[in-house]
Amino acid sequence: MQALEERIRKDGVIKEGNVLKVDSFLNHRMDIELINEIGREFRRLFPDKSINKILTIEASGIGIACITAQYFGCPVVFAKKTQSINIDGEVYSTQIKSFTHNRTYDVIVKKAFLSPDDNILIIDDFLANGCALLGLIDIVKGSGASIAGAGIVIEKGWQNGGELVRSRGIRVESLAIVESMSVENGIVFRHEQTV
Ligand code: 5GP
């Protein structure tokens, strides 16, 4: 998605530890016009009319998922990060290792909000090592719902999350795939790669 790539190049900040900061337009201050285009693009890529729910994870995924959901006419469910899992059997739970915070969270979704009749689109801001996405997939599988695919705003192509998830037969559509980034050479998107 060209407008997104241009924005990443203009306002993305390359930080230590393989982190791309996009908090000036995506996940702290949010450029709603751009996110609206992102939502429209996800709809174009996933035209399947049977998609009836969007699943994301707090916090950064929520805003993007909500705007996207308006193009799908469906509700959003977000997985909650929690300190303590309630063991009354009312929630699906999994563990997710956070890439940016280097810690592991228990993540839950109330069972009543997912059903085997659902066809779910997963949305998230970043795909890096794939822990967040694999955790969400785990939760959906536990519920017996179908997975229409995953819509990712920015995939970091040199980390192996994309490969891991695609190798499980899940369709992953990333609107921008950063193939490499460094302060010296800037950002190279996958389609610009020379070799
Ligand atoms: P993964 O679980 O695939 O390793 O990482 C995905 C999650 O970590 C996303 O939900 C996102 O919030 C966060 N994340 C991973 N890499 C980056 C990054 O380079 N920049 C930012 N801002 N968040 C990231």
Task: Record the pTM.
Answer: 0.96
pLDDT band, very low/low/confident/very high, at 99 (cuts 50, 70, 90): confident
Pairing verdict, β 76-82 and 53-57:
parallel
- Which atom of ligand 1 is found nearest the CA of 132? 2
Q: Which amino acid is at 127?
A: L
Ligand 1 centroid–CA 96 distance in Å is 12
Q: What span, in angstroms and rounded, lies between the C-alpha atoms of 75 and 107? A: 19
Q: Is 19 in the pocket of ligand 1 (CB under 6 A)?
A: yes
Residue nearest to atom 11 of ligand 1 (CA): 126
> For residues 121 and 53, is the Cβ–Cβ distance under 8 A?
yes
Running DSSP on this structure, what letter comes out for residue 130? S
Ligand 1 centroid–CA 131 distance in Å is 9
Q: What is the pLDDT of residues 169-182, one digit of tens each?
A: 999 999 999 999 99
pLDDT band, very low/low/confident/very high, at 75 (cuts 50, 70, 90): very high
Q: What would the two tokens of residue 9 be?
A: 């190049």
Q: What is the pLDDT of residues 107-144, one digit of tens each?
A: 999 999 999 999 999 999 999 999 999 999 999 999 99
Running DSSP on this structure, what letter comes out for residue 138? H
Q: What would the two tokens of residue 130 be?
A: 């794939």
pLDDT band, very low/low/confident/very high, at 87 (cuts 50, 70, 90): low
The set of residues, in sequence order, having a beta carbon less than 8 Å from that of 91 and lying 6+ positions away, is 85, 108, 109, 110, 111
Residue nearest to atom 16 of ligand 1 (CA): 128
Ligand 1 centroid–CA 19 distance in Å is 8
Beta bridge partners of 97: 104
